[in-house]
Amino acid sequence: MRIAIDLIAAEYQPGGMLSVARTLLQGLANIDSQNEYVVMTVRPDDYHDIAKAPNIRVHPVRLPSRKGTLIQHQIIAPMALQQIRPDILHIPAFAAPITWRGALVTTIHDLAFMKVPEQSSLYPRLYHMHLQRIGAQRAQRVIVISKQTEQELMHYWSIPPQRIRLIHHAIQPSFYANDLSPKAIKAMHSRYGERYLLHIGRIMPRKNVECLIKAFDLLAEKFADLRLVLTGGLGYASDKVVQLIEASHYKDRIHLAGWIVDEDMAPLYAGATALVFPSKHEGQGMPTLEAMACGTPVVASYEAASIEIAGDAVIRTDCSSAQPLANAIVPLLTNNELRQRLIQEGQKQAKPFRSEACAEKTLQTYQEAFELYKQSRSWS
């Protein structure tokens, strides 16, 4: 098969969805030498290493403008697909081109735009509700990354369960603690301090960063060396977070780190005293797994997908207000025995989420989708 993996829409902003798609590509290159993979991308230079694999080819695509990427994708992608002529198209994030009538696999990460509507403006909500839903309903196979998303698709979009495949995202191999560089970790400590709490993810309402900042204010008075690092850049409706930081007595110890380059992510995790993940809604909660793989303890909310993925290897707490969150963090600052236990449990929990396992299940899903498509053609 020739499989087109369309990353055009995913590349319109950096983040977890693009990162896990690249990890999937690496896994496919490792396990499959029979099929051809064509990466549709507006950033061809980012794929030089993966394109060294004999069965992976990069197909560059140019967008006329940086604005309106999601709508431009609907126009540009079909032209690229006419040149590639794939047997199957995989959309790892966002909506499939509505004109594509071939075999289709689409990945739905979550329906947060419905569950937490205040996290986005009207434009992306309409995009997901209509274009992404249409693609999911047309696809031969829909990949979800948690049971929570599977239930949401069946409930809200009436996707038949037999067309859904649950495949958890994989952790980048470089995140596993055995491969981490002490020098790189030390560089993170030089940049952010010896003890810092870490939050990974674009700042938006469902990430609940406001609660984290309030909890940090409670902790900062007692722990004078403690800092807070917020990554991911400012998303929609992030103005409240900025205002809280500016109003904090400890704003000089709060770092808005923005988007972190890939090579710095693992040492940033490993250098942290704890990852704090107070999210209200997730598709999988990938940062919890990445932190655990790096040997970093995690404090997280009782969010369903995070519980499904991370289990009991993290400290769970009520994140609806600052005090219980601050109380849950304190033991990780004072109890080394607890820290070591959580580190060991976390590394064990993260171990199965390898790129090859994700790739094998995804390849099987491609084969199923292509067979279904061929059957539908023979019936018509």
Per-residue model confidence as pLDDT tens digits over 208-241: 999 999 999 999 999 999 999 999 878 777 888 8
Asked if 191 and 276 sit in the same domain, the reply is yes
CB 147 within 8 A of CB 308: yes
Window from 18-27, 112-121, 261-270, 339-348 with minimum mean pLDDT = 112-121
| Counted domains in the chain | 2
Asked if 96 and 234 sit in the same domain, the reply is no
pLDDT of 110 reads 85
Asked if 198 and 292 sit in the same domain, the reply is yes
pLDDT of 232 reads 85
pLDDT of 235 reads 73
What CATH number is attached to the domain comprising 260?
3.40.50.2000
Asked if 280 and 163 sit in the same domain, the reply is no
Residues 270-289 have a mean pLDDT of 91
Report, in angstroms and rounded to the nearest whole number, the Rg of the chain calculated over CA atoms: 21
Q: Which residue reads 């509505």 in tokens?
A: 98
Asked if 205 and 145 sit in the same domain, the reply is no
- Who's near 31: CB < 8 A, 6+ residues apart? 356, 359, 360, 363
**pLDDT category of residue 8 using cuts at 50, 70 and 90:** very high
Distance CA 228, CA 245 (A): 11
Asked if 121 and 267 sit in the same domain, the reply is no
Three-state SS at 5: strand
Three-state SS at 105: strand
**Cβ–Cβ contacts within 10 Å for residue 91, how many?**
30
Domain containing 320: what range?
A: 173-350
pLDDT of 281 reads 81
Q: Which residue reads 């403006």 in tokens?
A: 121
The two beta strands, 164-166 and 195-199, are: unpaired
Alpha helices (runs of H) in 158-261, residue ranges in sequence order: 182-192, 209-220, 239-247
CB 56 within 8 A of CB 37: yes
* Cα-based distances in Å from 350 to 87, 171, 239, 286, 361: 34, 8, 34, 10, 18
pLDDT of 69 reads 84
Tell me 203's DSSP state: B
Class of residue 161 by CB neighbours under 10 A (exposed 0-12, middle 13-18, buried 19+): exposed
pLDDT of 305 reads 75
Q: E strands, the chain, where?
A: 2-6, 36-41, 56-60, 88-91, 103-108, 141-144, 164-166, 195-199, 226-231, 254-258, 274-277, 298-300, 315-316
Asked if 150 and 87 sit in the same domain, the reply is yes
CB 23 within 8 A of CB 358: yes
**pLDDT category of residue 80 using cuts at 50, 70 and 90:** very high
**Cβ–Cβ contacts within 10 Å for residue 154, how many?**
15
Task: State pLDDT tens for residues 320-363.
Answer: 999 999 999 999 999 999 999 999 999 999 999 999 999 999 99
- Who's near 123: CB < 8 A, 6+ residues apart? none
pLDDT of 118 reads 64
Asked if 41 and 108 sit in the same domain, the reply is yes
Asked if 154 and 197 sit in the same domain, the reply is no
Task: State pLDDT tens for residues 112-142.
Answer: 777 666 666 666 677 778 889 999 999 999 9
pLDDT of 202 reads 86
Asked if 52 and 24 sit in the same domain, the reply is yes
pLDDT of 380 reads 54
pLDDT of 78 reads 95
pLDDT of 234 reads 80
pLDDT of 379 reads 67
Asked if 16 and 161 sit in the same domain, the reply is yes
Distance CA 18, CA 96 (A): 16
- Who's near 337: CB < 8 A, 6+ residues apart? none
- Who's near 178: CB < 8 A, 6+ residues apart? none
